[in-house]
Amino acid sequence: MRLRELAHARSGDKGDVSNISVIAYDTAGYERVRAVLTPERVKRHLGGIVRGEVRRYELPGLLALNFVLNGALGGGVTRSLALDAHGKCLSGLLLELDLTPEEPSR
């Protein structure tokens, strides 16, 4: 199951920081997303795009998680050589995440 089946996302950017809010469609979806979508998993899913820390903030009253991704925009929109490094693209990429629980690493 992909994240987009349980939630939608909104995002923005400021300098070299991207901000992605993942908003569940219902309470059951929020609980599942909250259990699986850790900052570490978000950073792994986005691969080498996010070079800095990923912080997660929970907003249960809104059924939302807000992720702040530092070092995610190639130095910032005006400094990046990427064609489309804005935060809006990252939210679409994040919604493709497979929510199957990960196996513990050995």
User: Is residue 78 very low, low, confident or very high in pLDDT (cuts 50, 70, 90)?
Assistant: low
Q: CATH for 3-94, among 1.10.3470, 1.20.1250, 3.30.70, 1.10.287?
A: 3.30.70
Residue 73 in tokens: 């925009």
Q: Average pLDDT of 65-70?
A: 96
Are 19 and 87 contacting, i.e. CB atoms less than 8 angstroms apart? yes
Q: Average pLDDT of 66-71?
A: 94
Per-residue confidence (pLDDT) for residue 89, from 0 to 100: 78
User: Is residue 41 very low, low, confident or very high in pLDDT (cuts 50, 70, 90)?
Assistant: very high
**Residue 43 scores a pLDDT above 80:** yes
Task: Give this prediction's pTM.
Answer: 0.84
Per-residue confidence (pLDDT) for residue 105, from 0 to 100: 58
Long-range CB pairs of 25-32, under 8 A, 24+ apart, other chains included: 25/63, 26/63, 27/63, 29/63, 30/60, 30/63, 30/64, 32/6, 32/99
**Residue 95 scores a pLDDT above 50:** yes
Taking the domains of the chain in order of start, what are their residue ranges?
A: 3-94
